Every structure is written in structure tokens, then in C-alpha cells.
């Protein structure tokens, strides 16, 4: 009986340790996580919680986010957006939080937010070493596809690029997201990176999505 209890206790401890061995990032309500390690992020927490948690496997991390503080002006709330930030870093079994500037007024934010000074800190208030960059897109900013943009970005030599989260020659990403991904057909020889990505995502789409895309192309 004692052996059974001991084995059960050891099993529970092992399970607890494995569930704790991850990176947990506390995300405040004025931060929007757009992509985490190449996929759409899943945050946990209550509907009305100001802070939610992003949990990631240990190792190489890449976060794409935007800071958008809100300010009261009369009866209105005005949001001021930062540029889209890409941050790559390595972390294991850590609890991290954002350290972000606090602006008194919307005008203060508008003056400074494009040169956002921020960091990740751990429970000991130590900064995490990271590399950051801006995920920039020329022209219209509405309707951006951040998953595609960061996949293209990760195929470059940009400062915060992580090659592990980039598809290779329009093939399957080495990062396992937990969903089934079809093998893509090779892109035409001489294809540019954006063209390669178009071929890649087209091959991942279902038949209905492919049909809608064909209609869209024919209307251009």
C-alpha cells in the first residue's frame, strides 16, 4: 500500500513538474499578441481579467505584438498604437511580464510610442535578453495577415528572425503547431519570397478557400 502511495505521489510530482516547465508570459489588456512562435496565440484567463497568460514551450521564443494604451478624452476613449514589434529570445521555465512605458496623455503617447522602450522582466525584476525589430508593411495597414508576414520575415536575415518558424521552400514549417498541415508543392523556380509564400498558403487552404481565392484573383 505504501509503495502504491509513493508511486502515485512521484507520478503526481512528475506531472506537476512537467506542467510547470514552460514559459508563462503575463499579457496586460493594452498589449495585443498577434503571433507567438509562428502560430496564432492562445491566451488563458477570465473574460474580464485585465491580464491574461500566454504559455509557451521552453526554448527559442518569438513574439509579435502591438502596444495600444487607451486614454480618456471627455466621453471618448482614444487608443494610440505602437508599431508591430517582433521580439526573439530564449527562455526556459520562466514567468515573465511586460515592462512598458506609462503615458499621462494621448499626446505624450503619440510623441513617443513609435520609439517604444519596453522589455520582458522575470520574477526577480531582471530584464530578459532579446532581439527586437519592427514588422513593417508598406501601404494599407488594414487587414494585415501577421501569420504570413512573420513567415516571410523569418525567411530573411532580419535581426529578430527565427528560421525555425519559417517554411522552407514552401514546404511544411518544422515547428509543430498541433494541427495537420499538408505538404506544399514546390514553388516555381525563380519565385520571389512573397510568391513562394502565396504558393505555400494556397496549398494549405481547403477547397472552399481556394475557390474564394481564385474568384478574388479573377476580379483583379
Q: Where are the domains of the chain?
A: 22-147, 167-220
> Taking a C-beta distance cutoff of 8 angstroms, is the pair 70, 110 a contact?
no
Which of 144, 171, 150, 194 is CA-nearest to residue 39? 150
Residue 85, strand partner residues = 65, 134
pLDDT at 26 over 50: yes
What does DSSP assign to residue 105? S
pLDDT band at 159 (very low <50, low <70, confident <90, very high): very high
- The yes-or-no verdict on residue 208 having pLDDT over 80 is no
* Poorest-pLDDT segment among 26-40, 113-127, 155-169, 191-205: 191-205
Size (the chain), residues: 220
Q: What is the CA radius of gyration of the chain?
A: 21
pLDDT over 60 at 179, yes or no: no
Question: By C-alpha distance, which of 198, 153, 181, 197 is closest to 35?
Answer: 153
Give the residue, 147 or 19, on which the prediction is more confident: 147
Instruction: Give me the pLDDT at residue 124, please.
Output: 96
Angle at 176 between CA 171 and CA 180, to 5 degrees: 70
Q: Which of 175, 150, 178, 159 is nearest to 63 (CA)?
A: 150
Position 3 scores a pLDDT of 44
The residues with which 99 forms a beta bridge, in sequence order, are 119
Lowest mean pLDDT among 16-20, 150-154, 199-203: 16-20
CA distance 210 to 202: 7
- Averaged pLDDT for residues 140-155: 90
pLDDT at 191 over 80: no
Range with lowest mean pLDDT among 63-77, 93-107, 131-145:
131-145
Amino acid at each position: 500500500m505504501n509503495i502504491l502511495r509513493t508511486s502515485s505521489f512521484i507520478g503526481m510530482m512528475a506531472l506537476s513538474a512537467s506542467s510547470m516547465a514552460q514559459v508563462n508570459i503575463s499579457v496586460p489588456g493594452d498589449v495585443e499578441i498577434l503571433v507567438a512562435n509562428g502560430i496564432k496565440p492562445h491566451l488563458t484567463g477570465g473574460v474580464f481579467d485585465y491580464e491574461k497568460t500566454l504559455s509557451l514551450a521552453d526554448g527559442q521564443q518569438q513574439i509579435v505584438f502591438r502596444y495600444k494604451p487607451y486614454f480618456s478624452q471627455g466621453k471618448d476613449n482614444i487608443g494610440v498604437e505602437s508599431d508591430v514589434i517582433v521580439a526573439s529570445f530564449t527562455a526556459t521555465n520562466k514567468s515573465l511580464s511586460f515592462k512598458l512605458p506609462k503615458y499621462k496623455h494621448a499626446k505624450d503617447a503619440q510623441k513617443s510610442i513609435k520609439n517604444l522602450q519596453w522589455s520582458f522582466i522575470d520574477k526577480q525584476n531582471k530584464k530578459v535578453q532579446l532581439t527586437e525589430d519592427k514588422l513593417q508593411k508598406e501601404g494599407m495597414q488594414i487587414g494585415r495577415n501577421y501569420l504570413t508576414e512573420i513567415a516571410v520575415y523569418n525567411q530573411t536575415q532580419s535581426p529578430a528572425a527565427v528560421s525555425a518558424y519559417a517554411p522552407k521552400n514552401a514546404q511544411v514549417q518544422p515547428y509543430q503547431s498541433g494541427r495537420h498541415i499538408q505538404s506544399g508543392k514546390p514553388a516555381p523556380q525563380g519565385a520571389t519570397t512573397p510568391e513562394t509564400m502565396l504558393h505555400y498558403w494556397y496549398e494549405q487552404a481547403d477547397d472552399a478557400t481556394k475557390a474564394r481565392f481564385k474568384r478574388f484573383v479573377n476580379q483583379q
